């Protein structure tokens, strides 16, 4: 989904109803605070109830984190940027991701809001558990899923940071530039946010040695605390 113009101010209002609209906004601290107790309990449960050893839990946890990076790439490339044709499909793509490209300074829409996030997470865990059951390893879902969700939380936090601050370390600058270019240069490239690994693997990484940074366009992507709300469209 492409937009002719980036809105430097305001927020995309997804719903006309103010109560529904409120449910589309959140803050990173809310999502971290919501998930950490759940994930901590699952890791504890995997040891106390299923008897998984510490090393198995750690390895399975990091496997979940690594799997997230692949999932992030696939979902961003093929779902968030799905070339929809019907009005309904266009609307869905806009709600889940397109609004961020049109209003990149809207810091309240970088994480999935609590209600849909928990619903989707429940589906993901169920799929992981069922897959594990078919493979005779369902207990590992209680360590794999927390790693997967931590990967998601780190992705969301990294996304927030890229739109909020300059890269804190020089080695992180390619990650920042790759995402900035994805916004203002070519949405068909640069799908990795928390990592550029899969962009390199699948050939969708920007050639940063040839791309000149447009500081004015980059500034358009950075948060502004004085941005007034702007109603876009109703559901």
Using a 10 angstrom Cβ sphere, with 0-12 exposed, 13-18 middle and 19 or more buried, the burial of residue 48 is exposed
pLDDT in tens, 156-184: 999 888 888 888 888 888 998 999 888 88
Per-position DSSP letters for 198-225, written without gaps between them: HHHHHT----TTTPPP-HHHHHHHS--T
| Digit-coded pLDDT (tens) for 198-214 | 999 999 999 988 888 77
pLDDT confidence of residue 224? 55
Q: Flag residues of the chain having pLDDT under 50.
A: 4, 225-235
Query: Please, are residues 180 and 101 in contact by the beta-carbon 8 Å criterion?
Result: no
Positive or negative torsion for Cα 31, 33, 37, 43? positive
* 224 touches 105 (CB < 8 A): yes
Do residues 196 and 205 touch, judged by C-beta distance below 8 A?
yes
Closest by CA position to 50, among listed 189, 143, 120, 181: 143
Residues of the chain by 3-state class (helix, strand, coil), percent to 5: 65, 0, 35
- Whole-prediction pTM value? 0.85
Residue 94 is given by DSSP the state I
Q: How far is the C-alpha of 108 from the C-alpha of 163, rounded, in Å?
A: 12
Of the candidates 77, 21, 96, 95, the residue with the CA atom closest to the CA atom of residue 201 = 77
């Amino acid at each position: 989904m492409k937009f002719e113009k980036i809105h430097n101010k305001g927020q995309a209002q997804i719903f006309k109803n103010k109560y529904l609209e409120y449910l589309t906004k959140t803050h990173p601290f809310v999502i971290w605070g919501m998930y950490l107790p759940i994930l901590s309990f699952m890791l504890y449960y995997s040891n106390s109830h299923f008897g998984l050893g510490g090393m198995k839990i750690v390895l399975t946890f990091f496997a979940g984190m690594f799997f997230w990076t692949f999932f992030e790439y696939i979902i961003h490339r093929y779902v968030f940027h799905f070339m929809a044709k019907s009005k309904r499909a266009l609307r869905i793509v806009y709600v889940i991701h397109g609004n961020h490209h049109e209003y990149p300074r809207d810091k309240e829409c970088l994480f999935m809001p609590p209600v849909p996030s928990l619903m989707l997470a429940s589906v993901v865990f169920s799929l992981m558990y069922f897959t594990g059951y078919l493979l005779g390893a369902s207990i590992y879902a209680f360590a794999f899923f927390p790693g997967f969700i931590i990967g998601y939380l780190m992705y969301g936090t990294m996304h927030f940071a890229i739109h909020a601050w300059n890269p804190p370390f020089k080695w992180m600058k390619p990650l920042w530039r790759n995402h900035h270019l994805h916004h203002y240069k070519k949405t068909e490239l640069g799908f990795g946010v928390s990592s550029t690994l899969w962009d390199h693997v699948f050939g969708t990484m920007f050639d940063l040695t040839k791309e000149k940074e447009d500081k004015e366009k980059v500034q358009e992507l950075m948060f502004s605390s004085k941005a007034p709300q702007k109603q876009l469209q109703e559901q």
